[in-house]
Structures are given as structure tokens and as C-alpha cells.
């Protein structure tokens, strides 16, 4: 069997990566990288919702063993947690990072070195956590890291609040897309994130992600190499719209989609300000979410029916 070669290797070799870097960098001058489309000049120090200028901020990086099993393997997923966020869920479980800005600004060279360090420690992939607002910085770091030997799959681990044009720009760069699909109801998205357009943005972005990479494919060791993996956090009282989201995945993406239905909701950040989000998720609601997915023909679930973790 031929060894896996990440998409970004060929992308750099044929010159497309350099063009993508130019295009993405130009977007920073009147930023429209995410659906917020703040229009600020981040290259001159202005910042919008994501509070990030020309360079990325990183909160932490490590071999993570709590991710989905096809990413973790035996040596972990090489997660890079980017600081700040363009969605800003008020119940975010990483509130210190996304809302309060815990992290350090890094140069493109330092970001490249982080990627190479994670690969050297044996991580099976580079897992870019909350990357939507730092796509230009990621592309610039890749251009530095590839000649130095980077060659593990690149995972785009986003909130799902992604701009279609930005996802199209990433074609040929990202090997594994791992978006959330958080809410189906625009009113819930508005209430929690002030992003009434979230459901539409997520549907468009996820369709494009699937068009680019298809269903999740793993190697002989069950380590993911390419494809789409969708996360869905079940919210108390059905606020996430799980049934509609599972219908969408089954009907408009693929019944072979790898889906992680997550039970770990807990009230964090400012969740207590919204009725229904101040309590933990009841076990029976998670079990019902798994049954909904299975009834829609979704069989590639990250957690088997009956497993409940808080």
C-alpha cells in the first residue's frame, strides 16, 4: 500500500499554496474570512470580533488523547489551540481561551515550529482547533514547515461557523475537516452566539468540506488520513436541534459520515444567563440523540449506544 501524502505537499509543489497565501493575506486588509465579515484591516493592527490582528495567538499545543478515536491512535492528535474565536458561544467550555484571550501571539515561523514539534513527538496529525479566523497564518506557517519535513494530515477543527469562500480557498490544503454543527434553529444561535446566520453558514461550509474530501478514510491502523468528521454537542432540552441536524447529514451529506455525538455539555461561561442551559445534559437525552442518528441510518458514530460520559 502506498504511503499517505498530505494534500498540502502537492499544493505547495505546484505553486498553489503561494497563491492561496497571497489571497488569504489580502483578505486581512478588509477581513471577511469568517461570516462576521468585520471588514477591519488586521494587517495594520485593527481587530474585529476575533480580536486577532496580523499574527495568530496560541493558547497551548500538545498530544491530545481525548479526541475522536481515528485521530488519537496510539500517539495522540497534535492539537494546536488557537486563542480567541469568531463565534463566541456563551457556554464555551474553553471560555478562558475563546472569550478571555488566554494565549500568546506567535510568528508564522513559531507556528511552523509547533507543527514540526508535534509531528516529531509522534502525533498522527496536526489538529488546528478554532482555526477559522487564522487561516492566512496557518497557510503561511505551512509554507515554512513543509520544506522542513511536515507530512502528517492536517485537521481543520472548527465551530462550523465558516465562510464558504474561505473553505473553498482551503481546497487542496486540508486533509481532514472536523466541523461542529451546533444549532439548527437561528434563534438559538442568536441567543447563544449572536450569530443568527450560523445554521445556514454551517450547512454551506459542511457541504463544501464534504465535496472536497469525501467521507472519512482511515489507514490499516485505523488512523484517519482524509475526509469529513462532524461533531455535534447535544444541548439540554433539545436546544441544539439534533433531529434536524441528523436529517441534514443523512440526506444532504452522506449516511457514511463519521459523526461524534457528544454528551459532555455542562454550564460554562455565561450559560447561566439562558434558560435551559444552566443544567447538565440528562443521560436520557444523549441516548435519545444516538437513537435519532441511528434511525436516520448514520452508523459511523464515535460513541456506541449506551456509553455516557460527563
Structural domains of the chain sorted by starting position, each given as residue range(s) with its CATH number in brackets: 7-295 (3.20.20.70)
Cα 170 from Cα 212, distance rounded (Å):
9
The reported pLDDT for the residue numbered 310 is 36
* DSSP collapsed to 3 states, 218-281: ECCCCCEEEEEEEEEECCHHHCCCHHHHHHHHHHHHCCCCEEEEECCCCCCCCHHHCCCCCCCC
The reported pLDDT for the residue numbered 252 is 98
| Backbone torsion region of residue 271, taken as left when φ is above 0, otherwise alpha when ψ lies between -120 and 50, otherwise beta | alpha
Cα 153 from Cα 256, distance rounded (Å):
21
Contacts 24+ apart (CB under 8 A), 42-46: none
The reported pLDDT for the residue numbered 2 is 60
The reported pLDDT for the residue numbered 308 is 44
Cα 138 from Cα 182, distance rounded (Å):
24
Cα 61 from Cα 172, distance rounded (Å):
24
Quick: pLDDT tens for 249-293.
999 999 999 999 999 999 999 999 998 999 999 999 999 999 999
Residues 91 and 192: beta-carbon distance below 8 Å: yes
The reported pLDDT for the residue numbered 160 is 98
Low-confidence stretches of the chain (pLDDT beneath 70): 1-2, 304-310
Helices (H), the chain: 7-13, 16-27, 69-72, 95-98, 108-120, 135-145, 164-169, 186-193, 198-213, 242-248, 283-295
User: Sign of the C-alpha dihedral, residues 279, 284, 286, 288?
Assistant: negative
Cα 139 from Cα 120, distance rounded (Å):
20
Query: What is the CB neighbour count within 10 angstroms for residue 58?
Result: 21
Helix (H) or strand (E) holding 64: strand 57-64
pTM: 0.96
Cα 231 from Cα 204, distance rounded (Å):
16
Amino acid at each position: 500500500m502506498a504511503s499517505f501524502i498530505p494534500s498540502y505537499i502537492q499544493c505547495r509543489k505546484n505553486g498553489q499554496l503561494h497563491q492561496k497565501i497571497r489571497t488569504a493575506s489580502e483578505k486581512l486588509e478588509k477581513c471577511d474570512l469568517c461570516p462576521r465579515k468585520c471588514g477591519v484591516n488586521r494587517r495594520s493592527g485593527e481587530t474585529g470580533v476575533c480580536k486577532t490582528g496580523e499574527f495568530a495567538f496560541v493558547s497551548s499545543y500538545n498530544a491530545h488523547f481525548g479526541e475522536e478515536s481515528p485521530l488519537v491512535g496510539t500517539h495522540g492528535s497534535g492539537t494546536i489551540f488557537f486563542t480567541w474565536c469568531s463565534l463566541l458561544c456563551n457556554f464555551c467550555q474553553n471560555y478562558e481561551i475563546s472569550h478571555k484571550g488566554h494565549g500568546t501571539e506567535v510568528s508564522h515561523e513559531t507556528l511552523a515550529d509547533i507543527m514540526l514539534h508535534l509531528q516529531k513527538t509522534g502525533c498522527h496529525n496536526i489538529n488546528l482547533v478554532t482555526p477559522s479566523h487564522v487561516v492566512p497564518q496557518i497557510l503561511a506557517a505551512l509554507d515554512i514547515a513543509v520544506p522542513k519535513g511536515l507530512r502528517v494530515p492536517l485537521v481543520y477543527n472548527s465551530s462550523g461557523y465558516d465562510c464558504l469562500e474561505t473553505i473553498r480557498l482551503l481546497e487542496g490544503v486540508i486533509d481532514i475537516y472536523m466541523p461542529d454543527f451546533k444549532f439548527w434553529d437561528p434563534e438559538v444561535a442568536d441567543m447563544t452566539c449572536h450569530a443568527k446566520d450560523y445554521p445556514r453558514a454551517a450547512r454551506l461550509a459542511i457541504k463544501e468540506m464534504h465535496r472536497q474530501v469525501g467521507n472519512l478514510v482511515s489507514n490499516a491502523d485505523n488512523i484517519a488520513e482524509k475526509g469529513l468528521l462532524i461533531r455535534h454537542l447535544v444541548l439540554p432540552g433539545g436546544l441544539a436541534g439534533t433531529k434536524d441536524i441528523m436529517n441534514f447529514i443523512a440526506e444532504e451529506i452522506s449516511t457514511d459520515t463519521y459523526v461524534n455525538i457528544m454528551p459532555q455539555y455542562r454550564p460554562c461561561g455565561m450559560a447561566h444567563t439562558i434558560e435551559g442551559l444552566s443544567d447538565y445534559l440528562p443521560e436520557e437525552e444523549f441516548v435519545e440523540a444516538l437513537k435519532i442518528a441511528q434511525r436516520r441510518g448514520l452508523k459511523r458514530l464515535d460513541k456506541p449506544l449506551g456509553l455516557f460520559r460527563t
